[in-house]
Structure 1
Amino acid sequence: MRRLPGGDFIMGSDRFYPEERPCRRVRVDGFWIDETPVTNRQFAAFVAATGYRTLAEMPPDPADFPGMPPEMARAGSLVFERPQGAVNPDAFHGWWQFRFGACWQQPLGEGSSLSGLEDHPVVHIAYADADAYAAWAGKSLPTEAEWEYAARGGLETEFAWGEELAPEGRMLANYWQGDFPHQNQLLDGWERTSPVRTFPPNAFGLYDMIGNVWEWTCDWYALPSLDNKHHGRCCIPSNPRGGLEQHSYDPDMPLARIGRKVLKGGSHLCAPNYCQRYRPAARYAHAIDTSTSHIGLRCVVRDRV
């Protein structure tokens, strides 16, 4: 882990997505944070010590899904599958597949394994799984503000390393190059996840804060307050937190009443033409009961006062 001193910083962005606005100055206390996302090797140690089963390893209860055919009541998770040709970028069903058996130890579904992936970030992690691992490790999941402060590395730029995504053509993170979801030029060398520490650390010595896998925070999703646009150093909010659980579902999807927590960092599926969330300010509201092949975690330990 690395200890960060805390302090104030500009959170959010006014240049990209509405949910990141407005830019506002906030302050966080000092804390320790994992240098890398939690790896398959580390998560395996947790499972060996506790016998824990992730949400993706447990079959759904048909009572929760009226009309579900019995043969579909099997454990699994969502796996990205690159389509053969161009598809409607708004139709995510064109590249996400629910695969039986997909979980942290079978990341591509039944018959797959972790061979050669021991030092890749663990994936197919639902929020409860991330929280359970953090508790076992004697740590916590970061708040959104803590995570963003760490990702910025002391900079107030759009990207974690400056104002250009690929300065002088250098790949500084694992993200998608080409037209998502069907064309991946692999300029960064990776189709899916990459081993942690593959790309350079940020100024705080932290790896993969951008790209590779999304990371859970402990904050419920809410839009930033428009009344909280602090650019000066007076009345700066300290250790801000997210929304209330009952307001954390997507208002555009009234039937989706499952609470949503904030994911940060983007993943290897973020692309210039789709989901430009490979930035510290980027955020995404994700249902706490859903796991995918590009969501993992990283932990913190807060200073005790």
Structure 2
Amino acid sequence: MATVQRWSGIEVRALREAKRMSIREFAAHLGVSERMISKWEAGKENIRPRPVNQAALDTALARCDPDTQARFSFLTGDSLVPEEDGGAAAEPIGGSHVRHPVDGRSMAKVDGSVFLSGPGNEPLWLPAFYIDVHPVTNDEYARFVAATGHTAPQDWENGRPADGRGDHPVVFVTWTDAAAYAEWTGKSLPTGQQWEKAARGTRGTVYPWGDQTTPAKCNVRENGVGSTTAVDCYQSGVSPYGVFDMCGNVWEWCSTQTKPGRHELKGGAWTSPFLRATPSSFNDAAESMCDDDTGFRCAVTAETLDG
């Protein structure tokens, strides 16, 4: 939780903007005059509200929802690291990986915290969850098809993936196909925000590996591979949580609905220019879309695995 040792005009303005209130609304919220708010903000670091007003500001901040607290932390220059972390460095790659009890797939834990979301790096709180370390592969999808009788992807031969492609991400799956697999495992498709946090970590880096523009770290059009690759191929491109293929290889379906019948896609693909593979970028498609560059991975709440 964001806290303030001693309020100045800087923190007053940050709280008002985090709450997205006008000066009039914020004054009414605190029970002071508009002139008082204007005076505090104009004085910046040189203004110290009286103790009774400091207490009112403390209460206003404490009652904010997590997203508002996150915006306040961002506006005041906080590091956005939870207090119990003590300002520690970014999450270690490969930490907190577990095997899911139903499908046996490796999943990475993404702790509950603020992260910087979207092209504008908007602070956003997400509770803890787990996400598949790799996209669902052909071999893994084949077990689902065998167990349920679900229709096999159109690029398979005689109901089986082509030789040598078992560890490639499954493609030619609609959103409905992906959601059916997720339900079979007791998971769900990740939201667009969950997916992005797992890709970028908490600190707003542009790519999973940092801010360096390095197409060689992922399977995108510029590299000329011309097809999908094994899901563990690009080991230098993993995210801060040790999650693979968050840039390139295949677009990945998310649970987030953008319009009726349409859902968000993340990550770019082997067919995409590197520019389109930025994890914060937006893309969506009709849930019936089925192509050779679109797959998925699954997520699950932390309570489900930790509980």
Q: Into which bin does the TM-score normalised by the smaller protein fall?
A: 0.5 to 0.7
1:47 counterpart (134, 138, 145)? 145
Which residue identity is paired with 1:31?
F
Distance in structure 2 (CA, Å) of the matches to 1:153 and 1:116:
32
Distance in structure 1 (CA, Å) of the matches to 2:155 and 2:257:
24
Which residue identity is paired with 1:218?
S
Distance in structure 2 (CA, Å) of the matches to 1:146 and 1:6:
10
Which residue identity is paired with 1:277?
R
Which residue identity is paired with 1:283?
F
Q: Secondary structure at the match of 1:261?
A: strand
1:163 Cα deviation (Å)?
1.9
Q: By percentage of residues, which structure has more helix?
A: 2
1:218 counterpart (226, 231, 255)? 255
Distance in structure 2 (CA, Å) of the matches to 1:25 and 1:113:
42
Residue in structure 2 matched with residue 207 of structure 1 by the alignment: 244
- Tell whether the 8 Å contact from 1:11 to 1:23 is kept in structure 2 after alignment: yes
CA shift in 2, pair 1:144/1:111, >3 Å: closer
Residue in structure 2 matched with residue 37 of structure 1 by the alignment: 135
- Tell whether the 8 Å contact from 2:138 to 2:170 is kept in structure 1 after alignment: yes
1:214 Cα deviation (Å)?
0.6
Equivalent positions of 1:73-222 (< 5 A) are 103-106=154-157, 114-166=162-214, 171-177=216-222, 186=224, 190-200=225-235, 201-221=238-258
- Tell whether the 8 Å contact from 2:139 to 2:166 is kept in structure 1 after alignment: yes
Structure 1 consecutive aligned stretches of length 4 or more whose deviation exceeds 6 Å: none
RCO comparison, higher one (Cα < 8 Å, 6+): 1
Which residue identity is paired with 2:249?
N
Which residue identity is paired with 1:301?
V
Deviations 1:165-196 (A, max 9, x none): 21xxx71111111xxxxxxx53xxx2210001
- Tell whether the 8 Å contact from 1:175 to 1:271 is kept in structure 2 after alignment: yes
Distance in structure 2 (CA, Å) of the matches to 1:217 and 1:104:
22
- Tell whether the 8 Å contact from 1:38 to 1:297 is kept in structure 2 after alignment: yes
Distance in structure 2 (CA, Å) of the matches to 1:218 and 1:137:
15
Q: Secondary structure at the match of 1:283?
A: coil
Q: Structure 1 length as normaliser, TM-score?
A: 0.60
Say which one has the larger Rg. 2
Structure 2, unpaired ranges of 5+ = 1-106
2:118 counterpart (7, 12, 15)? 12
For the pair 1:302 / 2:304, whether they are aligned, the reply is no
Which residue identity is paired with 2:220?
Y
Distance in structure 2 (CA, Å) of the matches to 1:105 and 1:117:
10
Distance in structure 2 (CA, Å) of the matches to 1:112 and 1:130:
17
Which residue identity is paired with 2:264?
V
1:154 Cα deviation (Å)?
3.3
Distance in structure 1 (CA, Å) of the matches to 2:240 and 2:159:
40
Distance in structure 1 (CA, Å) of the matches to 2:262 and 2:172:
16
Distance in structure 1 (CA, Å) of the matches to 2:161 and 2:147:
20
Which residue identity is paired with 1:3?
K
1:153 Cα deviation (Å)?
2.8
Distance in structure 1 (CA, Å) of the matches to 2:199 and 2:269:
14
Equivalent residue pairs, number: 196
Deviations 1:108-152 (A, max 9, x none): xx9995111000000001011000000111111101110100011
Q: Secondary structure at the match of 1:27?
A: strand
Deviations 1:259-280 (A, max 9, x none): 21000011111115xxx22111
- Tell whether the 8 Å contact from 2:173 to 2:290 is kept in structure 1 after alignment: yes
1:161 Cα deviation (Å)?
1.5
Deviations 1:75-106 (A, max 9, x none): xxxxxxxxxxxxxxxxxxxxxxxxxxxx1525
Residue in structure 2 matched with residue 277 of structure 1 by the alignment: 276
- What is the percent sequence identity of the aligned residues? 36
1:217 Cα deviation (Å)?
0.6
